[in-house]
Amino acid sequence: MRQRAREAGETGIAQVLPDDLEIEGALITGMAGASAVQWSHLGAAAEAVPVAERVLRALRLLDTMHLGFPITQLQHGLQTATRAERAGADTEMIVAALCHDIGKVLPGGSHAAIAADMLGPYVRSDVCDVVRAHWFFQLRYTHQMIPGRGAEDRRRFRRKPWYALAERFSDEWDQASFDPEYDTLPLEHFENRIREVFGRRRYGGSPGLNPETPVSART
């Protein structure tokens, strides 16, 4: 099946349209009227831009956001990932450290949950759950600005097998990574790791963070 790329406005994302899709009457404009052929091509169109490239674009958006800190949110992610790498973390943990605040590009909701859901199919469960829970672990430093929260809210997860890793992520890498003088590695340094991790789906995603029940294994 031959495909050709078409530029989609200001996003710079190439939209791939199979020739026979155009013969049928162009793009789907309403689900109820879509043909079987049109539906059959949506998967290929959705994968026209690799996941890793979409992640990189989202990360670059963080470079427009300071949120009151002396460095941007992209620089914060890069600095967190740099600390993780220099501490000997593996590739999945390093990429997760880089992406842990990627959900901040969207308003509302839980940025940690957004990041964890994105990472879920690509990193192992303990790494995913560290990202999903990191907001609770950061309450040790931020609880004074959040009514009803305490410095040790992280203790609800103390029985989880990833608790020690989450403490290391939070206390050694994340909370310290707003330093404009730190020797932070650039995004280009991590691009191959990003493409490696997001180049294959190895896992089924994280089931969530109920502190009273164990995190089930993923296939």
Higher pLDDT, 26 or 61: 61
pTM reported for the whole predicted model: 0.79
Same domain? For 26 and 102 the reply is no
Given a cut of 70, whether residue 1 has pLDDT beyond it is no
Same domain as 76, residue 39: no
CA–CA distance, 2 with 20 (Å, rounded to integer): 9
Q: How many domains in the chain? A: 2
Residue 138: name the closest of 102, 172, 182, 181 by CA: 172
For residue 87, the enclosing domain spans: 51-197
From CA 80, how far away is CA 181, in angstroms rounded? 14
Distance CA 186, CA 28 (A): 40
Total residues found in the chain within this entry: 219
Classified as helix, coil or strand, 78 is helix
pLDDT tens per residue, range 27-69:
777 888 888 787 777 767 777 789 999 999 999 999 999 999 9
Least confidently predicted of 13-27, 70-84, 105-119, 123-137: 13-27
